[in-house]
Chains A and B, each alone.
Chain A
Amino acid sequence: MSYRAGTYDDSHRPLIDLIPNDSLYVSDEEDGFYDGEDNYLINPKWKASVQRVCNHIPRRLQRYLAIYIGLLVAAWLVWQTFFSASYNEHQQQIALMDSTTKETFGSNLRPHFKHMIQVGTMDKKHLPVEDKRLIVIGDVHGCKEELQALLEKVGFDADNDHVILTGDMINKGPDSPGVVSFVEKIGASSVRGNHEDRILLTITDMENSHVALPGPQENANRTNDTLEEESFSQGDYKIRKLAKKFSKKQIAWLRERPVILRVGHVHGMGDVVVVHAGLVPDIPLEQQDPYQVMNMRTIDLKTRVPSENRDGTPWEKFWNHRQKKLPSHKRMTVIYGHDRKRGKNIQKYSKGLDSGCVGGGHLTALVIDSKGKNKYVQVKCKQYID
């Protein structure tokens, strides 16, 4: 084998140099191999810049971020499972409260009863001007001592102050006739509560001589009544017994109390009315169903039918909602009692004052002065009933 020098020298150069054109080979591992095709997820330029930014954020902060995102997801899950439904319900309730339907409660000829005054108006001279005050008191239920203690506490002054009771001043407690006499003596206003209503109806029934007369020969003017066992009140002897305790004068006074008392315009409060239980919004006072004004607790938002049970929406919630929709001069504030369970319940356009005195709670007074300032004063009551 012989090697020529020239050939030998050439052999010392790397073989690759002998390839005339090195562009023949392209590696698919090179970055540029896939250039021109848009099948990447994130533009590498962005990716790079994100990475650059990330590198500037401390690791600890990155960890926190992950934790926060985790918490956010958890919160969302909790919302979905526990609160979303009630929130939707709330939204639905608002929508119902805002809706106006044509077929709604109160289209009928308002029920009308003998010996029942629907609307009364308080004498203008009692309106709180200058140093005059209005003192509105919740359900007294025969608790005369507490009523007197409360008036003492608010510094009741017969010349300047006018007292209004929200009804149910009688029954359950120790001295119903005493309360009526006292309230009458101080010239207070009051509305008819469901307890006054029941007693007055019972009294009317007792006055009417009917039922099971022992025959046509019976003397119509008899004074003793033999109806005790079989009569109208069907065993409600407690009511009958209480009914007999009132004098004719007291009964006459009680009968004159309206179902709704229009107090009038009070500075800072607008138009004020007093009822025992509640009112249905958007129905004139004259058109309000008297039974429900004395008994309601809730309103069914779909039909606007009020009810004494608690299945619907609290009437005062609906009332406040609707008042805010009215022009301010048409808004009305209702002061009421009746709902011992919900107790003292103060909202912008409704003031619930029954704080369960007779059951050992408090007797509440709302004192309104000429500037429209509302002050609540309470006394603790003895427990007379469970």
Chain B
Amino acid sequence: MTRHERGYDIRSLQGLTSNTRDRSGKRGDPMGKYFHESTFDSHYDGRFAESALPNEERQIHLSHLLRTYLATMNDLGAETWIMHGSLLGWWWNRKIMPWDSDIDVQVTEASLAYLAAYHNMTVHHFAIPAVVGDSTATGPKGSEGRNYLLEVNPHYENASPGDILNVIDARWIDMATGLFIDITALRKDVAAEKAGVPGRMLCKDRHHYLSTDIFPLRESMFEGTPVRVPYAYQELLEEEYGKKALTVTQFHGHVFEQEKMMWVPKFGLAVGP
């Protein structure tokens, strides 16, 4: 195995991280797994952070993470759109839901190949002003703003969902906080096509869709940034989360206040679903 296939460890990222110790869960991970979640929280990259953020602070960084990702993909001309929990957040009020700890995006196979060929391991700098309560407003080496890393899993060429160690095709990583976005490619379901059922698509994470439910994409706004959403957004949400997810206004310790069009935390509400 080449070093490339084993992933870039903390030594190869010198000067790009403020971490002194590698907190990645690499040692505990099976051989052949490319991306390593941190030892302290599966939503962080242990090469760039040593601890998790407090909840409210995390949401600010998630928003930055999302906006920088969307802007970069747009600049590079890569086609991406939101799915799962992020799509549900968009549907309710075009914002990340306050209890959501990650962001879900998909890209086309062609876009992924393009990112892998030309933009893998590129660092993208954004002049993001400091936010109140933000302990990581300045990036490593005291530079203003923040750096993000685009890293593609070399196993992306293996389209098989059987490659369970590498269901994530790429990551967009906040190099100051270790937070990241998992990027998965939506691929043609070649097996179904051979069996005479065209128009089916799947991801390595085993989610599968009809291409006509995803494409053509629609242009909307999410967290104040242009975003693409799948064609049949509501049908997809209903299939994944059920009708109730589109009607219930008390969820996860929050109430959806229609005057504000916001999920507001409510004391005394159960945090579980």
Contacts and interface: CB of A to CB of B under 8 A. Distances in A.
Interface of A: 102-105, 107-109, 111-115, 198, 201-202, 204-205, 209-213, 215-216, 227, 230-236, 239, 289, 291-292, 295, 300, 302-305, 307-308
Interface in B77-133: 77-79, 90-94, 108-111, 113-114, 118
B77 A211 contact: yes
Contacts of B233: 111, 291
A230 B216 contact: no
B42 interface: no
Contacts of B79: 210-211, 232
A233 B211 CA distance: 8
B243 A210 contact: no
B237 to A, nearest CB: 10
B258 interface: yes
B198 A213 contact: no
B249 interface: yes
B270 interface: no
Contacts of A235: 198-199, 211
Given A234-B201, A236-B212, A105 B246 contact: yes
Contacts of B53: none
A303 B93 contact: no
Interface string B205-230: 00000011011111111000010010
B243 A108 contact: no
Nearest to A312: B243
A112 B215 contact: no
Nearest to B201: A234
Contacts of B246: 105, 108, 303, 305
A234 B93 contact: no
Nearest to A211: B79
A307 B239 CA distance: 11
B248 interface: yes
Contacts of A233: 215-216
Contacts of A198: 216, 231
A308 B220 contact: no
Interface of B is mostly: mixed
Contacts of A105: 246-247
Contact of B235 (A103, A212, A231, A307): A307
Contact of B232 (A107, A204, A212, A291): A291
14 contacts: A107-B247, A107-B258, A109-B94, A109-B261, A113-B219, A212-B108, A212-B114, A213-B77, A213-B114, A230-B108, A232-B217, A234-B201, A234-B215, A303-B246
In the A-B complex, the 7 residue pairs with the smallest Cβ-Cβ separation, listed nearest first, are: A212-B110, A201-B216, A230-B110, A210-B77, A114-B219, A234-B211, A303-B243
Contacts of A291: 232-234
Given A103-B248, A105-B246, A305-B243, A211 B216 contact: no
Interface of B: 74, 77-79, 90-94, 108-111, 113-114, 118, 188, 198-199, 201, 211-212, 214-221, 226, 229, 231-235, 238, 243-244, 246-249, 256, 258, 261
Contacts of B248: 103
Nearest to B244: A303
Contact of B110 (A215, A231, A300): A231
Contact of B219 (A115, A215, A236): A115
Interface of A is mostly: loop
Nearest to A204: B219
Contacts of A202: 216
Contacts of A232: 79, 108, 215-217
B249 A107 contact: yes
A212 B243 contact: no
Nearest to A209: B77
Contacts of B243: 300, 302-303, 305
A232 B247 CA distance: 31
A318 to B, nearest CB: 15
Given A105-B247, A212-B111, A233-B215, 8 more contacts: A108-B92, A112-B221, A198-B231, A210-B74, A230-B109, A231-B110, A234-B108, A305-B238
B94 to A, nearest CB: 6
Contacts of B226: 114
Contacts of B215: 232-234, 236
A308 B92 contact: no
Contacts of A304: 247
A213 B247 CA distance: 41
Contacts of B256: 107-108
Nearest to A201: B216
Nearest to B77: A210
A211 B92 contact: no
Contacts of B220: 111-114
Contacts of B234: 289, 291-292
